[in-house]
Structure 1
Amino acid sequence: MIKAFLVDDEEHALTILELFLQRTGEVEVVGRSSNGFDAIRQLRTLNPDVLFLDIEMPEMNGVELAEIVRNDNSDVQIVFVTAYDQYAVAAFEQAAIDYILKPLEADRLSKTIARIQKESVKYEAVIQQTSSTDDEARPSKLNIRLFGRYFAGIDGGPGMKWRTSKEKELLAYLALQDGNRAHRDLIIENLWPDESYHKAKIYLHTCVSLLRKHMKQLGLDSILKYENARYFLVSDRVEIDAQNYKKRLNSLKKQGNTVLEEIEQTLMIYEGPLLQDEDYVWAEQETELCDKSAAQWRYSLTEAYLKLQDYDKAVAMAELTIGYSPYEEEAYRLLMKGYHHLGRNDQVLSVYRRLSNKLEELRIKPSETTIKLYEEICS
Structure 2
Amino acid sequence: MKAILVDDEGLALRDLERQLEKIGGIEIAGKFQNAADALQRIGELSPDVAFLDIDMPEISGLEAAERIHKINEEIEIVFVTAYHEYAIKAFELAALDYVLKPINADRLAHTLERLKQRTSSRPRESAPSVATVGCFRRLNIEYGKAEPFSWRTVRAQELFAYMVYKRNQPVRKDILLDLLWPDTEYKKAFTQLYTTVYQIRKSLEAAGLTIRLTNSGSDYYLDLGNNRYDVQEWEQGRLSLPELSPETAAEHLAWLQSYEGDYLSETDYVWAENERKRLRDIWYKHALALSEMWKAAGCRKETLEVYDLIETRFPFSEEVYFMAMQFYADNGDLEMAKLKYDKLCAMLDEEYGIAPSLAVRQWADTVFGR
Aligned residue in 2 for 1:134: none
Aligned residue in 2 for 1:233: 223
CA offsets 1:289-330 (integer angstroms, 9 cap, x no match):
222222222222233333344444444433443344333211
Q: Letter of the aligned partner of 1:238 in structure 2?
A: N
Q: Is the 2:3–2:27 Cα contact (8 Å) retained in structure 1?
A: yes
Q: How does 1:169-318 map to 2 (within 5 A)?
A: 169-177=158-166, 180-183=168-171, 185=173, 188=176, 194=182, 195-196=186-187, 199=191, 202-203=194-195, 206-207=198-199, 209-210=201-202, 212-216=204-208, 220-221=209-210, 223-224=211-212, 231-233=221-223, 235=225, 237-249=226-238, 260-318=249-307
> Within the alignment, does 1:118 sit opposite 2:110 as a pair?
no
Q: Is the 1:91–1:206 Cα contact (8 Å) retained in structure 2?
A: no
Q: Is the 2:43–2:71 Cα contact (8 Å) retained in structure 1?
A: no
> Within the alignment, does 1:370 sit opposite 2:360 as a pair?
yes
Residue 34 and residue 271 in structure 1: after superposition, are their counterparts in 2 closer, same or farther (change >3 A)? Answer: farther
TM-score (norm 2): 0.77
Unaligned runs of 5+ in 2: none
Q: CA deviation at 1:3?
A: 1.5
Aligned residue in 2 for 1:28: 27
Q: Letter of the aligned partner of 1:362 in structure 2?
A: Y
> Within the alignment, does 1:143 sit opposite 2:132 as a pair?
yes
Partner SS for 1:246: helix
> Within the alignment, does 1:163 sit opposite 2:155 as a pair?
no
Q: Is the 1:56–1:82 Cα contact (8 Å) retained in structure 2?
A: yes
User: If you compute each CA radius of gyration, which structure gives the higher value, 1 or 2?
Assistant: 2
Residue 12 and residue 279 in structure 1: after superposition, are their counterparts in 2 closer, same or farther (change >3 A)? Answer: farther
Partner SS for 2:267: coil
Runs (4+) of structure 1 exceeding 6 A deviation are: 227-230, 341-344
CA distance in structure 2 between the aligned counterparts of 1:60 and 1:353, rounded to whole angstroms: 73
Task: Find 1:325's aligned residue among 309, 314, 317.
Answer: 314
Residue 256 and residue 312 in structure 1: after superposition, are their counterparts in 2 closer, same or farther (change >3 A)? Answer: closer
Q: Is the 1:6–1:53 Cα contact (8 Å) retained in structure 2?
A: yes
Q: CA deviation at 1:349?
A: 4.0
Task: Find 2:325's aligned residue among 330, 336, 359.
Answer: 336
Q: CA deviation at 1:164?
A: 3.6
254-263 vs 358-367, which moves further: 254-263
Q: Is the 2:4–2:31 Cα contact (8 Å) retained in structure 1?
A: yes
Q: Letter of the aligned partner of 2:124 in structure 1?
A: I
Q: Is the 2:49–2:78 Cα contact (8 Å) retained in structure 1?
A: yes
Aligned residue in 1 for 2:141: 152
Aligned residue in 1 for 2:345: 356
CA distance in structure 1 between the aligned counterparts of 2:237 and 2:143, rounded to whole angstroms: 23
CA offsets 1:1-44 (integer angstroms, 9 cap, x no match):
x2222334544443332222221012222223445444322212
Residue 304 and residue 21 in structure 1: after superposition, are their counterparts in 2 closer, same or farther (change >3 A)? Answer: same
